[in-house]
Copies of this chain bind each other. A is one copy, B any other.
Amino acid sequence: MSTIDFSALDALDQRDPLADKRQLFVIPEDTVYLDGNSLGLLTHATQQRVAEVTRQQWGQDAISSWNKHQWVHLPRLVGDKLAPIIGAATGQVICCDSISVNLFKALSAALHLQRQRGEQQRTKVISTRDNFPTDLYMVQGLEQLLGAQHCHLQMVEEADLLTAAEDLFDAETAILLVTEVNFRSGRRLPVAELIRKAHAAGVLVIVDLAHSAGAMPVRLDEWQADFAVGCTYKYLNGGPGAPAFVYVAQRHLGQFVQPLAGWFGHAQPFAFEPRYEPAPGIEIMLSGTPSVLAMAAVDSALDAFAGVDLAVVREKSLALAEAFLQQLAASGLATEFECISPAAAERGSQLSFAHPQAYAICQALIDAKVVADFRAPHYLRVGFTPLYTSFRDIGVAVEQLTHIMREQTYLQPQYQKRHAVT
């Protein structure tokens, strides 16, 4: 009946060097979860850690936990734990706030660096039109605040950035804001090459690693990135809306200020001085008091990456995607679903398919306990998270998708109705 060759998939699972990692995670019951690119799953350890921080640290040790349980150092401890995952030496990464807020700091800091270099005319921020919208919005927010003469966004086509970056970087360009993996298409941009070209033109680069960190090798130091931001709630499994991270290259620390100058970013927060004096290190990127519950979850989640080679993660990610495409073809669905993601080498850890009924199909899949997601206007996204996605998962997912398409289940009215979050 089924066209899926489960024995071949099981054989792949048996050879999988990451197979043991799956047991660290709470896998939703009877569910194939292909949405770790939107919200990573909970680990058993994190569930315990959150309970412990709540019950013992907050509940019993209360205020003393700021010292006793190192709450005050969590942003830096988590940052340093995250650093090797994104190819950064210690002291350059800190966990705090959201990507949006961290981008505002990084954008302001990079503009400040340009002015420090005497490059006042560099006021333009280049980013791609189909970047994740919050990245574009934050530049627009800064533009509105400072005036276009001090900061303005130029949206370019991704294709133009890929083929003719040199022509885009002119004497007015201050910053290239680039997301490594496109959230819709899954296209992976050649960040190292873009940084080289940007630097050659005097342009600073902020890299958004939302869909990269934890999914593939990232080499911020080697690439000579200037700033980076990223998300801990996707491939890093930090929890819904978990605090983000921000990276600043060592060579820039001490050379700039950032405007969200909250007390946690002060050189001596507990001296309670009325004048702001920025911390000399990466703590300059901190602003207000961080959420301990949220950050403790991230800290614990990162332990799942202990001993993990990101090159192996990448290899499995591509193998999972390849298996998905093969099973889709074997099920006769390859022509119906237009894969808008590029070939393996130029792709992140997801496949995106265009289909006019993508929304309803996604809802029907979720009801069949295969969790993928939808992105406007008509894309079905399938994410691969090598730490817990199995090859058998892929078979079940395609089997269910095949069933839904044959039976046209997605036409049922309950699948056509839109939710608040799509």
Partner of A100, one of B100, B137, B287: B287
- Binary flags per residue of A61-77, CB closer than 8 Å to B gives 1, else 0: 11111110001110000
- Binary flags per residue of A235-246, CB closer than 8 Å to B gives 1, else 0: 000011111100
- Binary flags per residue of A87-107, CB closer than 8 Å to B gives 1, else 0: 000000000011111001000
- Binary flags per residue of A156-178, CB closer than 8 Å to B gives 1, else 0: 00000000000000000000000
- Binary flags per residue of A303-318, CB closer than 8 Å to B gives 1, else 0: 0000000000000000
Kindly report which residue of chain B lies nearest to residue A51, judged by CB atoms. Answer: B51
Query: Would A47 and B55 count as touching, CB distance under 8 A?
Result: yes
> A98-B287, A288-B99 in contact; A26/B141 too (CB < 8 A)?
no
Contacts of A142 in B (CB 8 A): 259
Number of copies: 2
Q: Complex Cα distance A291/B101, Å?
A: 13
Of A8-16, A118-126, A270-278, A393-401, the one touching chain B = A270-278
Partner of A71, one of B26, B104, B240, B366: B240
Return A114 CB to nearest CB of chain B, in Å.
Answer: 14
Query: Would B140 and A275 count as touching, CB distance under 8 A?
Result: yes
Return A120 CB to nearest CB of chain B, in Å.
Answer: 12
Query: Would B47 and A138 count as touching, CB distance under 8 A?
Result: no
Q: Give the residues from 148 to 205 in chain A that come closer than 8 angstroms, CB to CB, to chain B.
A: 155, 184
Q: Complex Cα distance A228/B297, Å?
A: 30
Partner of A272, one of B60, B100, B274, B376: B376
What are 21 contact pairs spanning A and B, CB under 8 A? A28-B62, A42-B55, A50-B51, A51-B51, A63-B373, A72-B420, A97-B288, A98-B288, A99-B289, A100-B288, A130-B274, A133-B266, A134-B263, A138-B262, A141-B259, A145-B145, A233-B289, A240-B292, A241-B290, A270-B422, A291-B294
Residues of A within 8 A of B (CB): 26, 28-29, 33, 35, 38-39, 41-42, 46-47, 50-51, 54-55, 57-67, 71-73, 97-101, 104, 108, 129-134, 136-138, 140-142, 144-146, 155, 184, 233, 239-244, 257-264, 266, 270-276, 287-295, 297, 366, 371, 373, 375-376, 419-422
Q: With contacts A28-B61, A73-B420, A129-B274 known, what are 5 further pairs, Cβ within 8 A?
A: A26-B60, A98-B287, A108-B145, A137-B261, A291-B291
